[in-house]
């Protein structure tokens, strides 16, 4: 057995990794991500070269990050080697660098191979596009679809005049866009946002349903696959508990005109419901002359987040659990009490 | 809310916590983790996606995540990461520390010196 073989065997012994993050698999893992970025851009209509360039910009240097992963592996090996012996450590470092150089060379070869493979794919795609240009042109006409839903109370009865706030988020050509919509439920508790759902591309829909006397409810949908359709949704609102907050200063004197805005609530089963700025404005309240403000949008047992703004002051975030017992929060200059 | 995109670097040390939080929602491969961070942050953070991998490997070495090769959505071979029980514990600790730091920063920003 040659010295080279001995070095390789020792190296394999020290760098053997049960979690499958050896040289080849690290490269394979990174290349999977890189290919997906290229495919994503090609699917958006970019040329292969533009897609490749975009992927390089978005991912960063493949070689750099592979080296970092390898360096981490080598570091672990280094520590293990110290425990064995100083001689083994020297052996390991030399072998590690050797393996590192081999891995780098393999990565270069793989990248070249991948570029050739994707170049052939591009030529094939170009040919297909030419043949079917007319039909593709017809198919890419965007046809948005409606977003519909039903809002019920806890007795399955429709809730009319409920405010439905929707934020649509899209990423055309990698750029983030968002747009807000609002609707009100009809006498049968139904709402309709016409032509809201994009025909293609990734999108996310955030929705908050707000009605005084009922705990507010939010919903999130992220389209992750091209085949995925947004089905009509049904939301059930539960009657809210009556919560009264009293805001006082250090001398226990009530403060009026304090703005109190609910931001989120976490129910006892762990569901988190949030409302954005527009929704907050709908359920926000001001304290009266006795420093009191009442809410009908939380459930008993909820852990809630509220924002509090003293007259002319900044916003403070508070969190507390809605319970039957009296609850007091002490702040640096203000006390907020729940009766 | 207006955001200055030139300042959208991820706060130092927060990437591990964000990865653990993402994996709390279910097993994912690196590409899916990157997409989730992109979507959930509303494209806020401007980071090279390759930087996820040293972090993932570091978390795996620390026993906070485990990995397994499996078929992707496009039926290709991808490496899926899963949060371990040690990872869940670490996420809880990091989340708690992050909230405390956030509150401390808020207190400092809101601090008003006493009037003379």
Give A249→chain B minimum CA distance, Å: 16
In sequence order, the β-bridge partners of residue A286 are: A259
Mean pLDDT value across chain A: 78
Poorest-confidence range of A63-67, A70-74, A183-187, B106-110? A70-74
* Count of C-beta atoms within a 10 Å radius of residue A68: 19
Give B26→chain A minimum CA distance, Å: 15
HSE-CB of A4 using CA atoms within 13 angstroms? 2
Categorize the per-residue pLDDT at A23 as very low, low, confident or very high, splitting at 50, 70 and 90: low
Closest CA to A103 of A69, A59, A56: A69
Poorest-confidence range of A84-88, A205-209, A234-238, B91-95? A84-88
A38: its two tokens: 């290229």
At A180 the pLDDT is: 82
A333: its two tokens: 């200059």
Please list, residue by residue across A223-235, b when 16 or more beta carbons sit within 10 angstroms of its beta carbon and e when fewer do. beeeeeebeebeb
In sequence order, the β-bridge partners of residue A214 are: A239
Residues from chain B contacting residue A72 (CB–CB below 8 Å): 54, 57-58, 61
How large is the greatest C-alpha to C-alpha distance in chain A, in angstroms?
A: 92
| 8 A C-beta contact, residue A297 and residue A212 | yes
Q: Most B CBs within 10 Å: which of A15, A17, A18, A19, as the mutation test of the B interface?
A: A19
Closest CA to A93 of A67, A106, A75, A66: A75
End-to-end CA distance of chain A: give it in Å, rounded. 84
Poorest-confidence range of A15-19, A143-147, A266-270, A309-313? A15-19
At A133 the pLDDT is: 55
In chain B, residues 50-109 whose CB comes closer than 8 Å to chain A = 50-51, 53-54, 57-58, 60-61, 66-69, 72-73, 76-79, 106-107
Q: Tens of pLDDT along A191-208?
A: 988 888 887 777 888 888
| 8 A C-beta contact, residue A292 and residue A327 | no
Rounded to 5 degrees, what are φ and ψ at A301?
95, -15
Would you call B79 and A32 a contact, using CB atoms and an 8 Å cutoff?
Answer: yes
At B35 the pLDDT is: 92
* Count of C-beta atoms within a 10 Å radius of residue A260: 20
In sequence order, the β-bridge partners of residue A318 are: A306
Q: Tens of pLDDT along A281-334?
A: 777 888 888 888 888 888 888 888 888 888 877 777 777 788 765 555 555 444
Query: Does pLDDT of B2 surpass 50?
Result: no
ipTM (interface predicted TM): 0.83
At A338 the pLDDT is: 46
Residues from chain B contacting residue A176 (CB–CB below 8 Å): 42-43
């Amino acid at each position: 057995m040659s010295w080279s073989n001995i070095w390789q065997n020792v190296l394999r012994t020290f760098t053997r990794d049960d979690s499958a993050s050896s040289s080849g698999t690290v490269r394979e893992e990174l290349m999977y991500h890189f290919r997906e970025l290229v495919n994503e851009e090609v699917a958006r209509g970019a040329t292969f070269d533009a897609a490749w360039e975009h992927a390089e910009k978005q991912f960063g240097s493949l070689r750099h990050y592979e080296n970092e992963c390898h360096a981490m592996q080598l570091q672990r090996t280094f520590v293990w080697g110290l425990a064995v012996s100083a001689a083994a450590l020297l052996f390991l470092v030399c072998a590690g660098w050797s393996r590192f150089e081999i891995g780098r060379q393999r990565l270069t070869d793989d990248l070249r191979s991948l570029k050739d493979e994707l170049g052939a794919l591009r030529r094939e795609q170009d040919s297909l596009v030419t043949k079917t240009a007319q039909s593709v042109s017809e198919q890419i006409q965007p046809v948005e679809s409606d977003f519909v839903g039903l809002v019920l109370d806890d007795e399955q009865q429709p809730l009319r005049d409920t405010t439905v706030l929707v934020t649509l988020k899209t990423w055309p050509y990698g750029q983030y866009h968002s747009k807000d919509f609002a609707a009100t439920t009809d006498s049968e508790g139904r709402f309709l946002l016409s032509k809201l759902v994009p025909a293609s591309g990734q999108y996310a829909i955030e929705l908050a349903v707000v009605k005084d006397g009922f705990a507010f409810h939010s919903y999130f949908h992220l389209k992750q696959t091209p085949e995925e359709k947004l089905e009509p949704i049904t939301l059930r609102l539960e009657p809210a508990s009556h919560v009264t907050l009293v805001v006082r200063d250090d001398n226990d004197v009530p403060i009026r005109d304090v703005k109190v805005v609910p931001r989120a609530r976490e129910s006892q089963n762990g569901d988190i419901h949030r409302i954005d700025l527009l929704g907050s404005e709908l359920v926000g309240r001001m304290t009266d002359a006795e420093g009191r403000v009442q809410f009908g949008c939380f459930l008993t047992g909820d852990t809630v987040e509220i924002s509090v703004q003293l007259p002319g002051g900044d916003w403070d975030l508070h969190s507390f659990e809605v319970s039957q017992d009296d609850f007091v929060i002490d702040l640096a200059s203000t006390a907020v009490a729940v009766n | 809310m207006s955001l200055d995109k030139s300042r959208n670097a991820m706060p130092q040390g927060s990437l591990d916590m964000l990865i653990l939080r993402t994996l709390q929602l279910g097993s994912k491969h690196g590409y899916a983790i990157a997409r989730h961070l992109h979507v959930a942050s509303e494209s806020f953070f401007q980071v090279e996606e390759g930087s996820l991998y040293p972090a993932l490997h570091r978390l795996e070495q620390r026993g906070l995540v485990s990995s397994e090769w499996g078929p992707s959505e496009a039926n290709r071979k991808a490496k899926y990461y899963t949060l371990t029980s040690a990872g869940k514990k670490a996420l809880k600790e990091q989340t708690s520390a992050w909230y405390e730091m956030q509150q401390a920063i808020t207190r400092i920003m809101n601090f008003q010196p006493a009037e003379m």
